[in-house]
Amino acid sequence: MNNYEASIGLEIHVQINTKSKLFCECPTSFGEIPNSNICVICTSQPGVLPILNKKAVEAVIKTGLALNARINKKCFFARKQYFYPDIPKNYQITQFEYPICQEGKLILITSNIQKVINITRIHLEEDAGKLIHEFGNKKLDYSLLDLNRAGIGLMEIVTEPEINSANEAATFLNQLKNIIEYLNTSECNMEEGNMRCDVNVSLRNIVDKKLGTKIEIKNMNSISGIKDAITYEINRQRYILESRRKIKQETRLWDSNRKVTRSMRDKENTLDYRYFIDPNLIPITITETLIKNLNSEIPELPILKKNRFYKEYLLNEYDINFLVSDKNIADYFEKTVFFSKNKKRATKIIANWIITDLMTKLNENKLSIKESPINCENMAKLIDLIINGDISNKIARMIFEDMYIKSSDPRNILREKKLLQISDKKCLTEICNKAIIKNSKAALEFKNGKQKAIYAIVGFVMKETKGCANPKLINSILLELLTK
């Protein structure tokens, strides 16, 4: 690999999460009965005309702004012509010469480098329907067509071939996904096909200035798949180059079962899409006011949020990455900190509770943090109880379980269950004395130097107090009594 460098460009199709399709009023909901989200427009009946969904245009502008792109004040839709049953008009309405956004960039951050990846363009287009060729495992001798997806708005984000490895490509996609999720312009769910990606890979000898022959890979539907496909393709191309043969320009398909790329069509068969400006749609004019308004709707983006979390909450990198990976988790965290009465001491504990306890529980129940039965205010109260020494971690976990089921205030649960921690020294000393008497064997062993023997006595105290005793206090009292 030393002599060669890979240049990778990505074309990412992201389904915009508008309620209705790009050019008609049909809903965009996923998983409906085939051909239920369709109308005369998206099935291309004679005489219909496209009606542009302005929300989709706004989503593209917003995404462009977040990626530091230039927004074109006037842009056009074009017809991209090719025959296939999944595009009912036999042309796709897309943008060609005049996309909404151009010249954007994303700063790639990996553990050891920061690197700018330039984004060539972001344009708006319509999605195609779905063709089904098999039923279960049985291959059909006909094809089924589902047009529910046909006409849903997509933004296509195209990068310059500036990515140099499979890992960088994966990082880029994860970061992009994160930004888009923050903007809420797409669900970015790869399993549901919200986000799809074509990859261009070329290899060149590092002494060469010109890029090598480019191979386009299609049909990947997961970031790990994209990583595998790029790795495979780099190895394949390097092998060809090392054996002094030439790479021919072509489009290849990723076979996720066999984990190889296969030739789909070569350059001679490149389709001539016969683009021209769609006369049915008037040019989109984008005003400064609209750009300003949309800009003001852009939330604090992940990179800035991370930096702020470092400074403001003094958390470690793992915690911050976890919290910032989802805007809603970050919001939940900040809101909980806000409600906490011991902000400085609480941040780390809150982060831990969210990352381990809450998220585990939510994941088990397949809920998002937005649907969490425990609200931020109650979460903050729970943490405050721990910090004040009112409850032990063990009790806190018990209360947490109850809070999760009942969505109630932790102090009410404490009261109901009479679980307030016993920190009264006199009272605890009595119980400890009793424990030593009942566990005299253990007490003797401890005195003889077996440190671990003390746990049996602590256990007895806990049992007696139904777990409400302040463990630190028990320890110090027992040590005092046993070493007298």
Partner 1 sequence: MFFYKVKELSNKILFQDISSLDIINSCIKRIKKIDSKLGAFLKLNEHKAIHDALNSNNRITNGKRLSILDGLPIAIKDNIMVKNESMTSASKYLKGYISPYDATVIKKLKKAGIILLGRTNMDEFAMGCSTETSAYQKTVNPWNIKYIPGGSSGGSAVSVSAGMVPFALGSDTGGSIRQPASFCGIVGYKPTYGLVSRYGICALASSFDQIGILAKTVEDTMLLINIIKGIDYKDPTTCDYKELNDNKHYNNKNLLKGLRIGIPKQLINYRIDNVILDSFNESIKKLELEGVKILEIDIPEYKYVPALYKVIMCAEVSANIATFDGMRYGYRAFESIDLNDEYSKTRAESLGYEVKKRILFGTYVLSKKHYNDIFLHAQKIRTLLIERLEKIYKKCDFIFSPATMQMPVKFGEHLTEDCDVFLIAANLAGLPGITIPYKFVKNLPLGVHFMGSRFSDKLLLEVANNFEKIIGFNINKFPNCT
Residue selected from 9, 16, 22, 50 as contacting partner 1 according to rule CB under 8 A: 50
Binding region for partner 1 (CB under 8 A) out of 50-58, 285-293, 334-342, 348-356? 50-58
How many Cβ atoms from other residues are within 10 Å of residue 451's Cβ?
8
Beta carbons of 460 and 478 less than 8 angstroms apart: no
474-to-82, 389, 418, 423 alpha-carbon distances in Å: 79, 13, 19, 9
Residue selected from 47, 139, 245, 289 as contacting partner 1 according to rule CB under 8 A: 47
Instruction: List CB contacts of 344: < 8 A, sequence separation 6 or more.
Output: none
Q: Rounded to the nearest whole angstrom, what is the least distance from the CB of residue 44 to partner 1 in the complex?
A: 5
Quick one: how far is CA 305 from the chain centroid?
15
Instruction: List CB contacts of 54: < 8 A, sequence separation 6 or more.
Output: none
| DSSP at 163 | B
Name the phi and psi angles at 55, rounded to 5: -60, -35
Beta carbons of 205 and 247 less than 8 angstroms apart: no
Instruction: List CB contacts of 289: < 8 A, sequence separation 6 or more.
Output: none
Binding region for partner 1 (CB under 8 A) out of 41-49, 166-174, 195-203, 313-321? 41-49
CA–CA gap between residue 462 and residue 444 (Å, rounded): 20
Residue selected from 1, 36, 40, 267 as contacting partner 1 according to rule CB under 8 A: 40
x/- site string to partner 1, residues 220 to 259, per CB under 8 A?
----------------------------------------
Contact flag: residue 325 with partner 1 (CB under 8 A): no
Tokens standing for residue 407:
């969505």
Q: Rounded to the nearest whole angstrom, what is the least distance from the CB of residue 204 to partner 1 in the complex?
A: 27
Contact flag: residue 437 with partner 1 (CB under 8 A): no
Beta carbons of 77 and 96 less than 8 angstroms apart: no
Number of residues interacting with partner 1: please give it, by CB under 8 A.
29
| DSSP at 284 | E
Contact flag: residue 123 with partner 1 (CB under 8 A): no
Find the binding residues for partner 1 in span 136-155 (CB under 8 A): 145
Contact flag: residue 280 with partner 1 (CB under 8 A): yes
Q: Rounded to the nearest whole angstrom, what is the least distance from the CB of residue 136 to partner 1 in the complex?
A: 23
Q: Rounded to the nearest whole angstrom, what is the least distance from the CB of residue 41 to partner 1 in the complex?
A: 9
Q: Rounded to the nearest whole angstrom, what is the least distance from the CB of residue 251 to partner 1 in the complex?
A: 17
Residue selected from 55, 89, 130, 345 as contacting partner 1 according to rule CB under 8 A: 89
Instruction: List CB contacts of 390: < 8 A, sequence separation 6 or more.
Output: 414, 420, 421
Q: Which residues bind partner 1 (CB under 8 A)?
A: 40, 43-52, 79, 81, 83, 85, 88-91, 145, 272, 274-276, 278-282
